[in-house]
Copies of this chain bind each other. A is one copy, B any other.
């Protein structure tokens, strides 16, 4: 196996283990076994266990940024862009379930410098959504609610997906995202329901 492919295999196996057992719950020997390489030999490909965590987390961050940024910074009305951005976000989660989970959960185990690098990307990503929500409220197509509040609600709701989404389920990522968008935009209650 070529060297790059071997490294990718190690990253892939480590992602799965970090997702299921956590970073601290996963040992170098777990990763070496899953990769079919003895633990000492792993260090021909990586410099440290934390390097693996950083690389996985950073890739996760980049997936989200690169998928969603062009949509939010592009043309269109806010509702259309919100739908598209939600579809893109959900697809990053479903296409990279392991990396997304590690990105959400395990980044806090990084040591200072690298944790700050990831934090910066997280802030940038949240900023994109903030921009979209403010835009939509100014355009008048969103109700004027607290922006930070709405943003965290939307992101939390979508991010919950990684805990229950099953790739072999009936629903495609696009269907999932559309249903989320529908409920979040239109609400759960009937219009003729009691006073809201």
Contact = CB atoms under 8 A, between A and B. Distances in A.
Nearest to A146: B179
A59 interface: no
A183 interface: yes
Interface string A163-183: 110000000000000011011
Contacts of A77: 194
Given A24-B25, A159-B160, A196 B189 contact: no
A122 to B, nearest CB: 11
A70 to B, nearest CB: 22
Contacts of A149: 179, 183
Interface in A1-54: 20-25
B157 A188 contact: no
Interface stretch (A60-68, A112-120, A137-145): A137-145
